[in-house]
Each structure stands twice: as C-alpha cells, then as structure tokens.
Structure 1
C-alpha cells in the first residue's frame, strides 16, 4: 500500500513547491483534482487533454521526485437537475479521457444525487422514506436517473480501461456498502468504491466491519478521520446542518488522522484492509479546520506511515547515512 495525498489541501502552493514538499514528507503517490467541487489547483484539465507535451512534462516532474498518480478526482453531482448536472458530467467525461491518455487506472467521483422528481430543480437526498411519495422519489432517482446513467458510464470506463471509484459520501445515492453493491450489480466491475472511512463514522457506521462487506469492490481508499464531538453529539445526534467551517458548533468534524481515532484503531483498519486483499494506494484527505493545512498533513502522514502494514525508510535519515 503506497502512501498518497489528495493535493487540494496544499492548493495554496504552486505545483513544483507542492511536489517538493510532499516528496520530502515521504508521500509516494498523488490524487489530483480535475474540477467540479475541486478547484483543480495543480492540474489544468483542458490544457492536459489538448497538449501531449504538457502531459509528458507533468509526468516527468513527478518521476524526478519518485512520485506517481494514484487517481484523478472529479467529484461533483453529475446527476443534479438542470445545467449544473450537465456541466459536472462534462468534467467527469473529460477526466476519464485524461486518465486514459495518462494511463491512470482510477477516477474518483461521487455517485451523484438527482432531484426527487422530474420537476425538481435541486438535488434531494432522501434518508427517511416514511411517506409513499418518498418511496416513489427513491424509485425515480435510482431507476429513472442513476442506473441508466451509470450503466452507460461503466461501459465508457471499460472502453477506456478506467476504474470508477465512487466515494461513500452522504448526500449521494451511494453512501454505504449496501448502496454500493446495488449500483455494482446493476452496472459492472469497473464500478467500485473509493472507501472513505470518515463518512461512515459520522453516519454511525463501523468502517472496519464495513471493509469485510466490501471485499472485491474497493478500487481506492482514503485515509480520513472524524471526531464525534462530546457534549454536542450527545444532545443533537449526528445529523448536523451547521456549516462545515464552524467546527466549534458541530456534532462531528473532519480531523487530522489520529485526532478522532488513535493509532491502534488505524492499525486494525489497515490490517483488515490487507486481509481483504486490497494492496492499492491509501490516500490521505486532510480537511481538519482546527490546524494549519501543512501541519495536518505532516501529522497525518506520520500516523499513516506508523500504522500501514509495511515498513518505511525515513528519507532524511537515509540521505544522512
């Protein structure tokens, strides 16, 4: 399992500075945002698609630092009603084309979430279908919108030799193992999961138990932690609509690795991940708003290297010898 990083967290750094920084930290592989929810700070999707020399130059910069690309990320809501869904889908298609051109195996994205009916103008994530109209909305979302879209997208991915790794984020139709398997059964093997344990934490699940239910369907893994905030979650539960950038008000928060669950937890998590025959990259996504981004990356990478079931050489120690 290689140590990776979603580079958006260091989006304030110019490309070469970012590459030097992460290489010196012992990061081995990168997940690069291509658009939609990402501002794509380190990669111009259109430029890379149009100019092969830019692609070769980009890959050379990585090789010079012993870095590789683990995945391209185009997370957004391509199933949203109206123009935004169309625009997000265009970025998905371009990202898949760039993955093909760069010979990158994995594209990370979301399943998307449609409106609750053909008349809706905004996405509608239904979590408590207590009324008949909610059940009909779920049927419409899955059968009329999501399954036809993903059936066609999986075929396109197969033609390009690309695996689609769907992140299990709330506000999307695919947000847990059950919904992942439903989509996989209806589409094909190039559709799998980008397993992000942080989202199961805040939805009340157990990521280690979930791993065993996902054997054979995990294409990619994020290393990301959540802390359930005592005194707030106990009162209000885990459904929290306070803004993500107001951490002091929230029942749960994304935190640096180890700030929600300790090293013993993550050692077990990665050991079970190995048991289910996953050997791909483990990519840090750092979204802790209580500390400086680079500090959060350094602390998280240190814990990641401590708990992954492999040995690491400290680059500075090796060079000193």
Structure 2
C-alpha cells in the first residue's frame, strides 16, 4: 500500500506549495478534487482540458517531485434534480475526461442520491424500513431503476472511452450507495468497474464494523480513505448515532470525524489494513483530514504518522 492525501485539507496552499508540503510529509501521492462540492483548489479542470500546455506543466510539477496522482476525486450529488446536480454531472464528466488525459485510472466519487419520485425537488435518503409506508418500496425502485442505474451505465461507458479503469464510491451518508450491500446492488447492475472507496469513518457511526465490511467486499474494494470517527461517550448513549447537528458543533454531537488514532487505536488500524491487504487490496490509502477538534496541521501530521505506522506495505 502507498500513502496519499486528499489535498482539499491544504486548499489554502497553492498547487506547487501543496506538492512541496506533501514531499515534506513523506507522502507518495495526492488525491485531488476536480469539482463537485469542492472548489477544486488545485485542479483547474476546465482549463487543463482546454490547454495541452497547461496540462503538461501541471503533470511536470508532480513528476519533478516524484509524486503520483492516486486518484481524481469529484465527490458530489450528480443525481440531484436541480442546478446542483447539473453542475455536478458536468464536473464528473470533465474529471473523468481529465483522468483520461493524465493517465489516471481511478475516480473517487459518490453514487449520488435522487429524489423519491419524479417532480420532487429534494433528494431523499431512505434508510427506514420500506414496510411502513409501503409506498417507500416504489420510491426506492424509482431511485435505483429509473435514475441511478441508467446514469451509471453512461458513466461506465464514458470511462471505457477515455481509459479509466475504476470508480471508487465513498460509503457516505445521504447517498444511494452507502454500505457494501448497496454497492453490490449497483455493481451487479453496471459491472465491476464500480467498487467501494472504503472509508471506515462513515461505517463507525452507522454501527458497522469496517473490518467485516472489508472481508465482505473483497475485490470490490477500489480505494481506501484513512479517516477516523469517534463515538462521543455520554452523548451517543443517550441519543443514539443519528446526528443532524452541524459538524462544527463538535462538543454536542454524538459522534465526530477525528484524526486517525483519535477514535480508534493503532492496533485497530493495523488489523484493518492487514485484512484489506489479505482480501487483495494493495493500492492507495488517502488521508482525509476533517477533524475540527484540532488544527488542520496537527490533524494532518498526527494522521500521517499513524497511517505510516499501520498501512500494510
């Protein structure tokens, strides 16, 4: 396994300064965003696609530092029915095409989440039993069969055209694909190019065991995010793990995203990476630093140190 970082956490740095900092940290690669919810601080996707000279200069800066692009990331909701979805679909297409130009084989993104019925304006994450009311069964069928699967069939076709080999879908909340079971539903429909970006942090607060998930996924693990979460004592015990407070309200939340090692100890992380390697995954691990309980720099340095000690080389 090789260690990279999701570079949005260093969005205050210029492209070249960010690359220099990655070298200082001992990283081997970068996972950079090309759009979606991110402002894409380091990847001017449209400019690079339009100008071969800029594209060549962009790649040269990486080569000069011995860094690789672990993946291009375009996380967002391309299935949103409004202007947001239109933008995210455009960003997704451009990022896939840019990956083809750069020779990057992996796209990290999210499955998207549609509304529950034609004409609805708000995406609907159905996580309650569809027995009550039974109309939820029709809503899920609409989301999957009428919206998501046709869209993903088109994305797989585009990836074939430009030479992208893998989609790694993050098991994020408020997405149609949010755990291994939902990943396999999409994968079975559109093919093995679609796999999971196995991010333990989201599975922790959903009550799942990421190590068991890794065993179940096997070759469907397409990417790993090094990201931890902590269930907050005394709060989750009272209110459970469903949490609607903003992420900045760390002191009152039942769970928080934290630096690697601040939620689960290094023994846990060693076992996690060992099992992922045992199941056949021997590729990039990208640090995603979203800990709001400490400074960004402290979170990055602590997480890099923890991951360097635990990934399976």
Q: TM-score, normalised by structure 1?
A: 0.95
Instruction: Work out which of the residue numbers 238, 258, 264 in structure 2 matches 1:261.
Output: 264
Query: Which position in structure 1 is the counterpart of 2:150?
Result: 148
Q: 2-side partners of 1:38 and 1:18: how far apart?
A: 16
Cα deviation, 1:263-319, whole Å, max 9, x if unaligned, reads: 000000010011011111000000000111111111000010111123xxxxxxxxx
Q: CA deviation at 1:137?
A: 0.8
- Structure 1, gaps ≥5 residues long: 311-321
Aligned with 1:161 (options 156, 160, 163)? 163
Deviations 1:73-108 (A, max 9, x none): 111100011222122101100000000000000011
User: Which residue is equivalent to 1:286?
Assistant: 289
Q: Please give the residue correspondences for 1:129-208 in structure 2 after superposition, counting only pairs within 5 Å.
A: 129=130, 130-162=132-164, 163-208=166-211
Provide the C-alpha distance between the structure 1 equivalents of 2:176 and 2:217, rounded to a whole number of angstroms: 17
Number of residue-to-residue matches in the alignment: 310
State the Cα distance separating 1:202 from its structure 2 match.
0.9
- Kept in 2: contact 1:228–1:260 (CA 8 A): yes
Mapped to 1, the partners of 2:22 and 2:298 lie a distance apart of 12
Cα shift readout 1:5-29 (whole Å, capped 9, x = no counterpart): 0000010112221111111110101
Structure 1 Cα separation of the partners of residues 276 and 85 of structure 2: 34
Cα deviation digits, residues 248-270 of structure 1 (max 9, x gap): 11100000000000000000001
Once residues 58 and 248 of structure 2 are traced to their aligned partners in structure 1, the CA distance between those partners, rounded to angstroms, is: 33
TM-score (norm 2): 0.97
Within 5 Å, give how 1:302-317 maps onto structure 2: 302-310=305-313
Higher alpha-carbon deviation: 215-224 or 153-162: 153-162
**1:33-92 deviation line (CA, Å, top 9, x unaligned):** 111111111110111111111111111111111111001111110001122212210110
Of 235, 247, 252 in structure 1, the residue corresponding to residue 250 of structure 2 is 247
Match of 2:93 in 1: 93
Aligned to 1:3: 3
Q: Which of structure 1's runs of 4+ aligned residues deviate more than 3 A?
A: none
Cα deviations across residues 158-194 of structure 1 (Å, max 9, x unaligned)? Answer: 2222121111111001000000011000001211111
Which of the numbers 270, 274, 279 marks the counterpart of 1:276? 279
Q: Contact between 1:158 and 1:190, CA under 8 Å: does it hold in 2?
A: no
Consecutive unaligned residues of structure 2, counting only runs of 5 or more, are none
